[in-house]
């Protein structure tokens, strides 16, 4: 029987993987994130399963190679937290390229509706028996222009939702597809024409801090910015500057560039020492969720099924369909 170390796991991970586990695979669930301090927990394991905020750098990869670990299977689509250069020749990397694009797309639209119609503020008011509507005015989404950066499966699912609202849809992607229901334009055109901008692209060296002081200055005054992809697509201080100046009207963030030590954990009894995140959370026109967009039953099931298949394919010597080509 093969043994796999699952890092950064929560109860909902265990529930879904228990439903789809293989009799030939022994899973060791660890709550700890995979990093230089915890990599020793993978000793005597044949493979490792990691998540979005694990730190898989050259040291971690070197140690895994010493332990005889031949595969790291990411239970997510992204793998920007893996040092691919250091992984080459040491360990195979697999991922879950698609689990539920609808989950993330629907979360993105939920954030837009919440911010636009001030539902978060209305909820708190009515619980205090305050039924005033003052300050809760939103705008019709019908006829507004949404700019979608990244038109993969999630971006296209989000575009379909926006089409249902009667919105004008613009898209920017280095790799356009005929399956996108909107109009492709240049990035500058998208920035200048969009009432709402939603990010649905992977993080690469080329798009690090894609949203920055310069690009925000090109946007419409009052633009909404939604990010359910990767935190480092946005220069957070530039976003705060934009919010303070009024150039950015609202922001919905399911990811944050310094989220690694914070998201997925409970700090409700502590003082958050990250002043930047505290500033964002304090703003009435900002919604922060803790990397929650993927969290639906359907997505968890798909992640479990694909991850188990990745492990079974690797251990059986079959073609690793979801391998990241290094």
Q: Which fold has domain 101-288?
A: Rossmann fold (3.40.50)
Write down the catalytic residue from 200, 230, 247, 257: 230
Give the confidence band of 225 by pLDDT, cuts at 50, 70, 90: very high
Name the residue among 270, 225, 277 with its Cα closest to residue 250: 225
The one catalytic residue in 291, 297, 312, 319 is 291
**Residue 303 Rama label (left phi>0; alpha psi -120 to 50; beta):** alpha
For the chain, the domains span 2-99+297-316, 101-288
pLDDT bracket for residue 277 (50, 70, 90): very high
Region 140-160: what's the mean pLDDT?
97
- How high does pLDDT run on average in the chain? 96
Give pLDDT, residue 284. 95
Is residue 230 part of the annotated active site? The answer reads yes
Residue 47 burial (C-beta neighbours within 10 Å; 0-12, 13-18, 19+): buried
Across the range 67-72, mean pLDDT stands at 97
Q: Going by C-beta distance under 8 Å and a sequence separation of 6 or more, which residues neighbour residue 317?
A: none
pLDDT for the residue 326: 78
Q: Which residue has the tokens 């502590």?
A: 270
Task: Give residue-wise pLDDT tens across range 31-65.
Answer: 999 999 999 999 999 999 999 999 999 999 999 99
Q: Phi, psi (5° rounding) for residue 190?
A: -60, -45
User: What is the H or E stretch that residue 188 is in?
Assistant: helix 187-193
- Local confidence band at 296 (pLDDT 50, 70, 90 cut-offs): very high
Q: Supply 98's token pair.
A: 């698609």
Tokens of 248: 């950015």
* 325 has pLDDT over 90: no
DSSP string, 125-143: HHHTT----TT------TT
Sheet containing strand 145-149, edge to edge, reads 183-184, 168-172, 145-149, 196-199, 223-227, 248-253, 286-288
> What is the signed CA dihedral for 260, 261, 262, 265, rounded to 10 degrees?
110
2-99+297-316 matches 101-288 in fold: yes
Using the predicted structure, report yes or no on whether residue 211 has a pLDDT greater than 90: yes
Q: Which residues contact 159 (CB under 8 A, 6 or more apart)?
A: 146, 148, 151, 169, 171, 180, 181, 182
The tens digit of pLDDT for each residue in 96-139 reads 998 899 999 999 999 999 999 999 999 999 999 999 999 999 99
pLDDT band for 179, please (50, 70, 90 cuts).
Answer: very high
C-alpha separations of 157 from 67, 186, 200, 291, 293 in Å = 41, 21, 10, 18, 13
pLDDT band at residue 95 using 50, 70 and 90 as cut-offs = very high
pLDDT at 285: 97
Give the three-class secondary structure for 82: strand
Burial class (CB in 10 A: 0-12, 13-18, 19+), 162: buried
Active site residue 259: yes
pLDDT of residue 26: 95
pTM: 0.92
Per-residue pLDDT band at 23 (split at 50, 70, 90): confident
Q: Which of 75, 20, 86 is nearest to 50 (CA)?
A: 75
Catalytic residue among 259, 297, 319, 323: 259
| CA pair distance 36, 57, nearest whole angstrom | 8
Q: How confident is the model at residue 21 (pLDDT cuts 50, 70, 90)?
A: confident
| CATH topology (fold) of 2-99+297-316 | Rossmann fold (3.40.50)
């Amino acid at each position: 029987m093969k043994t796999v170390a699952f890092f950064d796991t929560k109860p909902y991970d265990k529930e879904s993987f228990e439903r789809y586990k293989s009799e030939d695979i022994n899973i060791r669930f660890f709550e700890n994130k995979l990093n230089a301090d915890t990599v020793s927990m993978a000793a005597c394991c044949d493979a490792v399963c990691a998540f979005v905020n694990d730190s898989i750098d050259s040291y971690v990869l070197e140690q895994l190679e010493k332990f005889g670990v031949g595969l790291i299977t990411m239970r997510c689509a992204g793998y920007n937290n893996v040092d691919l250069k250091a992984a080459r020749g040491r360990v195979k990397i697999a991922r879950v390229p698609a689990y539920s694009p609808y989950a993330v797309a629907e979360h993105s639209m939920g954030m837009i509706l919440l911010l636009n119609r001030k539902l978060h503020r209305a909820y708190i008011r009515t619980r205090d028996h305050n039924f005033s509507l003052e300050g809760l005015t939103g705008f019709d989404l019908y006829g507004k222009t949404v700019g979608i950066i990244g038109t993969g499966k999630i971006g296209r699912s989000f575009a379909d939702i926006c089409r249902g609202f009667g919105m004008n849809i613009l898209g920017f992607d280095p790799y356009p597809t005929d399956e996108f229901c909107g109009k492709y334009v240049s990035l500058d055109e998208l920035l200048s024409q969009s009432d709402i901008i939603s990010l649905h692209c992977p993080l690469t060296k080329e798009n690090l801090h894609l949203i920055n002081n310069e690009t925000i200055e090109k946007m419409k005054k009052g633009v909404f910015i939604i990010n359910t992809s990767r935190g480092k697509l946005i220069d957070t201080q530039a976003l705060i500057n934009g919010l303070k100046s009024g150039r950015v009207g609202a922001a919905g963030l399911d990811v944050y560039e310094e989220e690694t030590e914070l998201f997925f954990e409970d700090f409700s009894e502590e003082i958050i020492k990250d002043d930047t995140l505290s500033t964002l959370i304090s703003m009435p026109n900002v919604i922060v969720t803790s990397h929650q967009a993927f969290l639906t039953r359907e997505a968890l099931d798909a992640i479990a099924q694909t991850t188990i298949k990745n492990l079974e394919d690797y251990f059986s010597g079959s073609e690793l369909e979801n391998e990241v080509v290094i």
